[in-house]
Amino acid sequence: MRILISLVSGALFGLGLIISGMTDTKKVQGWLDIFGEWDPTLAFVMGGAMLPMAIAWKATRVRTPLTADKFPATNTAGIDRDLIIGSVFFGIGWGLAGLCPGPAIASLSFGGSSGVVFASAMIIGMLSTRRLQTFFSKTENTTKTLT
């Protein structure tokens, strides 16, 4: 049942992404391009997605998930450094290629070699994150002990 729900959700997500035009990098970059020919499509996509999601979050207050005991706990970390630095890195790459993780997978079958290179690099980036984090926290600790 949980696998079936995952399959249906992935299918709806994929359909939504291609219908909305979010697999077209020119539309995404057009939305970010405030000094060029601005394309508002992404705002409509975000707005459209908010409606069902807001209703779903409201429903989480009065019921439990169909196949689980409870809903995921809220991340209580607050707005920390990793959240902002990570999002800035993500934004730079997003603007540069016009692709984010969802559309990258959704367009993998028809996006040609660029799409494959992007998705591969993205996965390499994801897998190396923890290693880089440990490296940086180590160097940070060393500098702290040195000073």
Of 94-123, which residues contact another protein (CB under 8 A)?
94-102, 104-115, 117-123
Torsion sign, CA atoms 41, 59, 77, 136: negative
Tokens of 60: 């989480």
d(CA 121, CA 124): 5
CB of 70 to another protein, least distance (A): 7
CB of 138 to another protein, least distance (A): 16
Q: Is 82 in the site for another protein (CB under 8 A)?
A: yes
CA atoms within 13 A on the CB side of 73: 3
d(CA 2, CA 7): 9
Q: What is the length of the chain?
A: 147
Nearer to another protein, 51 or 146 (CB): 51
Of 26-65, which residues contact another protein (CB under 8 A)?
26-27, 29, 32-36, 39-57, 59-60, 63-65
Q: Is 143 in the site for another protein (CB under 8 A)?
A: no
Q: Is 134 in the site for another protein (CB under 8 A)?
A: no
Q: What is the CA radius of gyration of the chain?
A: 19
CB of 135 to another protein, least distance (A): 12
